[in-house]
Amino acid sequence: MSSTKHVEIAGAGLAGLTMATALAQRGWSVRVHERGAELREIGAGIYLWENALRALEAIGAAEAVTSRGERINSPELRDHKQRLLQREWLRDGRLYTVLRRDLHSALVQAATDAGVEIRTSSAVIGAGADGSLDLADGSSVKADLVIGADGVYSRVRDTLGLTQQITNLGDGCGRHLVPRTDDDPVNVAWEEWNGGRRVGVIPSSPEWTYLFLCCPEDDTEGTAQQPFNRQTWIDSFPSFRSQLERVPDMPEGRWAAFSDVVTRHWYRGRAAVIGDAAHAMSPNLGQAACTAMANSIALAQSLDVHDIDTALQVWQRSEKPVVDRVQRYSRMYGKIGTRWPDQALGARSALIWSLAKAKPFQRRIQFAAGYFPTLDAASGPVGAGR
C-alpha cells in the first residue's frame, strides 16, 4: 500500500494552483477540480509584493512571471488636485506588476510540471470533514486532505460550516487592460483619488497597461463600465484622459463589488479553505492574492514537519492572525478612499500626506508585504486549535 499522501483541491485559481504545486513538489499526489471548461484568468493586472514573489520563488515560478512583468520602483498616490501625497509604500522589498493571465499561466505550468492533475468542467458542491469532496456529477472523492480554493462563495467553506460573515463593502472597481503607449508610466504606478473615485494606471507588460477604476456602488455613473461611461471618468480625472480614451466602449472588464469573507476557522477535520474562500478582502493594499499565495506556502510548510491534524492547527494558529490583520487594514484604507465627505477632501489629503511620513504607521499598514511564513522551521507545543 502506497504511503504517498493524496490531496483533492477545489479551484484552479492563484491560491489553488500555488497550493497544488507546493504539495506536489513535496511528494503528494494532487488533483485539482476546476468548474470552468478551460483554465483562464480575467484580463487585468495584479500587484506582486515581496511576499507573493517569495511564494512564487518557493515553487520555482518567479522567473516565468516577472520576466513578463514590470518592476515598480515608485508607487505614487495623488489627490484631486494632482498633488503627490504618497510614494513611500515601497520602503523595503520588491514590487512587480504583471498580467493576471501571465501569472495564472505560469502557475498552471508549474503545477503541470510538478505532476498535478487538473480536471476542468469538474464543479465541487461540498466537502466533508472526513476528507471527502462532493462533485456536481453526483460522485464523491476521498483524500488524506481536501482543500477549498473555490472563491468568495465557496461551497467547500459553507458545507463545512466555517463561514462567519460575507460582507459587501459598498465599493468596488472595474479592471481594464489598454494598449501601452509612451503616455504611460515606466517603472512607476500612478494612482489618483477624487472624492470616492480612485483610478490606477499600472504598466503590467511590454504591451499592456492595467487600469483600475474604483468607486462606491451608489455611484451609478461610475459603476457603468460595460458599456463604458468614459466621459464621467475623464471629468473626474482629466490628467488620465489618454488612458481612459483607450478603454473600449465594451471592455472585457466590468465593475464588481469588493467583499470581505470572515471565517470562524480555516479548517474542520481533514478539510481546509485557502485564498478568497478563507479570507477574501478588498484589493486596497494589493494584498488579497499575495497573502493567498503566501498562506498556501505556509500550509505546505506546516505539512512538511507535522502530521496533517497537527499541521492544520499550527498553520491556523500562526497565519490566521496575520491575514485577519491585513484584512482589517485593507478595509480601513478603503473607507478613507471612498467614504470621505467631498467638503473635507483637503483634510483627507493632509491626513494621507502625514501618514506617509509616519514610519511606524507605514510599517504597520505594509507589514504583510515583508512577512513570509517559516512554519517548516516551527517547533514547540501546539495550542488547542480546532
Distance CA 292, CA 269 (A): 21
- Rounded-to-integer distance, Cα 165 and Cα 324, Å: 13
138, with CB counted inside 10 A (0-12, 13-18, 19+), is exposed
Give me the DSSP letters along 225-261.
BTTB-HHHHHHH-GGGHHHHTTS-SS-S---EEEEEE
Higher pLDDT, 188 or 377: 188
Q: What is the pLDDT of residue 100?
A: 96
**What would the pLDDT profile of 53-99 be if each residue is shown by its tens digit?**
999 999 999 999 999 999 999 899 999 999 999 876 656 689 999 99
How does pLDDT run across 331-371, given as a tens digit for each residue?
Answer: 988 888 888 888 899 999 998 888 777 777 777 778 888 89
Distance CA 66, CA 378 (A): 30
121: pLDDT strictly greater than 70: yes
Rounded CA gap, 183 and 132, in Å?
53
Report whether pLDDT(372) > 90.
yes
pLDDT of 380 reads 39
Name the amino acid, one letter, at 254.
R
For domain 6-167+258-377, give the fold: FAD/NAD(P)-binding domain (3.50.50)
Least confident of 44-53, 85-94, 114-123, 276-285: 85-94
Unique residue bearing C-alpha cell 469588493: 258
**Residue pointed to by grid coordinates 504618497:** 86
**If residue 158 lies in a helix (H) or strand (E), which one and from where to where?**
helix 155-160
d(CA 304, CA 314): 12
- H/E element holding 296? helix 288-305
- Judge contact between 195 and 189, C-beta under 8 A: no
Rounded CA-CA distance 99/46 in Å is 6
Q: Both ends of the chain: CA-CA distance in Å?
A: 30
pLDDT of 192-202, one tens digit each? 999 999 999 99
Task: For residue 140, give the DSSP letter.
Answer: E
Q: What is the total residue count of the chain?
A: 386
Which cell numbers in the block locate residue 343?
Answer: 467638503
- Binning pLDDT at 50, 70 and 90, where does residue 381 land? very low
